[in-house]
Amino acid sequence: MIEQLFQLTAHRTDLKKEIMGGLTTFLTMAYILCVNPLILAQSGMDKGAVFVATCLAASFGCLLMGIIANYPIALAPSMGLNVFFTYSVVIQLGYTWQVALGAVFLSGVVFLIISLFRIRDLIVSKVPLSMRQGIATGIGLFLTLISLKLAGIVTFDQTRGLAMGNVLSFETLMWGIGLLTMIGFAARGWRGGMIVAIIIITIISLVSGNTEIHGVASLPPDAMTTYMAMDIMGALDVGLLSIIFAFLFVDLFDSATSLVAVAQRGGLLNTAGRFARFGRALFADASATLFGASLGTSTVTTYVESTAGVAAGGRTGLTSIVVGGLFLVAIFLYPLIDAVPLAAVSPVIFYVATLMLAGLINVEWEDLTEAIPVVITAIVMPLTLSIANGIALGFISYTFIKIASGRYKQLNSLVVILTLFFIGQLLLLSPKI
């Protein structure tokens, strides 16, 4: 039955390799079990309920990916969009977490429609590469600022704005230890550096009395406080249109990029060099986002960490099934996860942010009509604490710079439509002069 469903022989793999691939992928992304509840808890959500939602949404996404797409690709709540959810949509803009969940759900609905009607190829091909690089870079800088603030290295003062914090604090020390641990693992080619860093910081926090542990395993926490709690009507507010678009846009390109990266690493592209079941994979991603929002977590997306499982031998959806099963098992380990302090989150966020800045090397710096929109997109996100603002000003600047330079023929209909949409949003929401 396993052979028939996953075609192990045709993919030159076997049960042992698939299990090892799934275990490897899970260990490289298990940090999300600690990080996601801690980040979303800052928005007012119950940490235990978010933990359950994280486990179930990740498991559902992995199982769906394995069954309908037969790819060794794992899914879980997005690192980046969870930070945007909490620190931008809820804390800065003042929306409730219920409304923010509603925005995530609506973005998932649009993503599902895009996947079913194959509009995805049009969007992916029409958005300029420089804008995609600018968005990825901006999210990286946005995460960097949040990491430094959580670590106490950077503070925000109403009088001075951003300023240096107390770099001798416990949080800063843990940030340094965690970052050095992850860099040490990466430099030696070892996997699991993030989860090891979290474990080390948690042990130090336990020994120093900064946190407590109440057991190893237990029944899952009560998840009813976040189950079906999304406020969809509240999310239909005109001011949230750009927020919904940001959730959708980042998820779409993050998923597309991760899918291709994993497929290339595992030789899973077809003879034409294309992703054979791309639509099915995106359908699994969109469905997992809808499921996750219903349970109480931010956007679910594909994880590029799946390349680790592919490198360990995983080649089929059975690898994803194994990852999904491990996420289900993890749901009984909440006492261990509850002991992880917020200090363990900041170095992980910074490490992930650093990886997202790699796209800067591909920017056409000699062509200012491409480079300047990248810089505007990337800088606006951290300075306004909003991915949506960065995307909006990035597209607007890209269009007007191309027109001013006489290269308006390089614009396409999608870019023009998005520019007009974002201008309309700014005119509606900006204070009247």
Q: What is the pLDDT of residues 101-118, one digit of tens each?
A: 999 999 999 999 988 887
* 262 Cβ contact list (under 8 Å, min separation 6): 71, 72, 73, 268, 302, 304, 306, 307, 310
**Dihedral in degrees, nearest 10, Cα atoms 197, 199, 201, 207:** -160
Q: Are 51 and 349 in contact (CB under 8 A)?
A: no
**For residue 84, which of 23, 135, 21 has the smallest C-alpha distance?**
135
36-51 tens-digit pLDDT? 999 999 999 999 999 9
Which helix (H) or strand (E) is 164 found in, with range? Answer: strand 161-164
| Positive or negative torsion for Cα 83, 89, 92, 98 | negative
Instruction: Give CA separation, 132 vs 125, 304, 340, in Å.
Output: 11, 17, 34
Local confidence pLDDT in tens for the 433 residues of the chain: 777 788 777 778 888 999 999 999 999 999 999 999 999 999 999 999 999 999 999 999 999 999 998 989 999 999 889 999 999 999 999 999 999 999 999 999 999 998 888 777 777 778 888 898 899 899 999 999 999 999 999 987 767 778 888 888 999 999 999 999 999 999 998 888 889 999 999 999 999 988 888 888 899 999 999 999 999 999 998 889 999 999 998 998 888 888 877 777 767 766 555 667 788 888 999 999 999 999 999 999 999 888 888 888 888 889 999 999 999 999 999 999 999 998 999 999 999 899 888 888 888 999 999 999 999 999 999 998 889 999 999 999 999 999 999 999 999 999 999 999 999 888 876 654 3
Beta bridge partners of 163: 155
Cα of 260 vs its chain's centroid, Å: 16
d(CA 217, CA 334): 7
Which helix (H) or strand (E) is 235 found in, with range? Answer: helix 232-235
* 45 Cβ contact list (under 8 Å, min separation 6): 97, 225, 226, 296
- Amino acid of residue 250: V
Does the predicted model carry a pTM greater than 0.85?
yes
